[in-house]
Amino acid sequence: MVVFYSHVAIAREIAEIINQSKFPEKPKQARQSSQGSVVSISDLPEDVKNLILSHLPIRDAVRTSILSKKWMHNWVSIPDIVFDKDCFIKGALKTEHANVVDQVLLGHVGPIRTFSCTPYVPRSSDIYRWIPFLSRNGIKNLILAGNVVADRYDVPSSIFYCQELCHLELSDCMLKVPPTSKGFQNLSVLNLFYVSISVDDIALLISKCPLLETLKLRSGLFDAFHFHIHAPNLVNLEVVGTFREFSLGNSSLLTNVSVSFNFPSFNFPTLERLNLAHANACSLTKFIGCSYGIERLTLDCCVIQFFCLAGVPEKLSVTLEHLKYLEVEIEWNSEEILAILCILRSSPNLKELKIRYDNLHQ
């Protein structure tokens, strides 16, 4: 989780630590102010220095090395290395961006808790250098993002040596899961955005993340696959894709679910195009599976239309006793309304219903 602090909150936190800290004794000849002794920035306690560095962008954290000799090497041990757009010169070449990251990593000493590089799409050669270094330094939170599909980078198999990972977010890349991979035994959050990966590899990866609690998948590359999620500890699920069949399986702890299809409803595929028959189409009941503990459910109009292909029962075969919030998008056709009524009849404790009307293509 990323926490943003206001300047006031940061100042108060620093002041509180300073008040609780014992500063070194100052020599008698030290200059005095009317309100007490003057504290040099060089004499700040280590915990105060670390607090200041933790709230600075990595660019400014590195710059603190010029403050004094006592600050020269403080930045090299900060656990969170986050590169944002302000760390790079606008319009610079990718090699220049990579050099900035390389210099920071080469100068770093000690464990790295978080590494985030989101402003530009790294080259595969850059990722192949950074991942092994991060795996050797106990990386726990790894975020690599991009925004240009044409520049997809390969994720090296060495990423699976990062066994202390708790949070992994990848975007605009290509990922293959080795059959012998152990997965990520400590991973609780997995976000894959527009990642080129086979549905079999997704299923394999999820099955080898036993502590996974939050899963977000967004991609147009899951088209026409049978996709089933089996994650016993999963709590939060957000999926954007296109599927022939989709089910939540045995995810008894699942609480928040959001599913969207990534094509416009006016271009919804026909039964022939999806090669579906009513006998094997994905129904609402099959979708829910054994996930009876859902508290928040969000479905877009394409997903609802998709479930309607299998026919709409008057009521689900299971009761969604814990469902408190339902958000749906519809185009006001009769089948969609019947599907919503089916869910409502199966949700005796529902407290909030939000209906979004999609008239974009009407």
**Cα(32)–Cα(352) distance, rounded to whole angstroms?**
63
Per-residue pLDDT at 230: 79
* pLDDT score for 23: 42
Nearest Cα to 171, choosing from 203, 144, 201? 144
Pick the CATH number of 79-212 from 3.80.10, 3.40.91, 3.40.50, 1.10.3470: 3.80.10
Q: Could you list the pLDDT tens digit for every one of the 362 residues in the chain?
A: 444 444 445 444 444 543 444 444 445 444 444 455 556 777 777 778 778 877 777 778 877 777 777 777 778 788 898 887 777 767 667 778 788 888 889 888 889 999 998 877 778 888 999 999 999 999 999 999 766 555 788 899 999 999 999 999 998 888 999 999 999 999 999 999 988 888 888 888 998 999 999 999 987 554 445 677 778 899 999 988 777 667 776 778 899 999 887 654 444 444 444 444 443 445 666 677 667 789 999 998 878 887 777 777 788 878 889 999 999 988 777 778 888 898 899 999 999 999 988 665 44
pLDDT at 49: 75
Q: What Cα–Cα distance (Å) separates residue 165 from each residue in 23, 104, 143, 181?
A: 37, 21, 11, 14
Of 160, 154, 125, nearest to 142 (Cα)?
160
The structure tokens listed for 360 are: 């974009």
Tell me what pLDDT residue 29 has.
47
Rg of the chain, C-alpha, whole Å = 26
pLDDT of residue 265: 43
pLDDT reported for residue 284? 67
Alpha-carbon gap, residue 251 to 296, rounded angstroms: 14
- pTM of the predicted model as reported, rounded to 2 decimal places: 0.79
Q: What is the pLDDT of residue 337?
A: 86
Cβ proximity of 177 and 209 under 8 Å: no
